[in-house]
Amino acid sequence: MKRALMPCLLLLLAAPAPAVAQHAPAPGDDPIARNLFPPELLMRHGAEIGLDEEQRAAIKDAIQKAQSKFLGVQWDMQDETGKMVRLLQARPIDEAAVLAQVDKVLALEREVKKTQLSLLIRIKNLLTEPQQAKLAELRKRPD
């Protein structure tokens, strides 16, 4: 019984929490992504939107700083996740220890997401209004 229960619990934990219908974006619609521009989009369309050398250098610098931070956090997350897995393998499982460890893993995930959002904000702030409008237009085009 206990062996069958664990996979079910893990599936429940991995599933996204249900959203309230009136506040949920339409499927496939990400309001945050809609208002920001990923680095890949700028690399692909830099010439079309008229990125100048100063903008290119600043965007490249922001990406490099974010990537170095991601690398460090990725190592830490792998270590902390490994610790959590070992805690989950114990019999019986120390619930308090696992929950404390999941807090560490979630804090690292939060740091990754915050760094990603910060990078996207910096990129958008480096673009002029016409460049942003052109990128929004180009994003809608099928490649």
Domain that includes residue 52, residue range: 33-140
Q: How confident is the model at residue 142 (pLDDT cuts 50, 70, 90)?
A: confident
Q: How many Å apart are CA 34 and CA 132, to the nearest integer?
A: 11
Residue 108 falls within a domain, yes or no?
yes
| Tens of pLDDT, residues 20-67 | 334 555 556 788 888 999 999 999 999 999 999 999 999 999 999 999
Q: How many Å apart are CA 132 and CA 42, to the nearest integer?
A: 10
Residue 58 falls within a domain, yes or no?
yes
Q: For the CA atoms of 135, 137, 138, 139, what is the dihedral angle to 10 degrees?
A: 80
DSSP 36-71: S--HHHHHHHHHHHT--HHHHHHHHHHHHHHHHHHH
Residue 20 falls within a domain, yes or no?
no
Residue 18 falls within a domain, yes or no?
no
Residue 96 falls within a domain, yes or no?
yes
Residue 26 falls within a domain, yes or no?
no
pLDDT value at position 13? 41
Domain count, the chain: 1
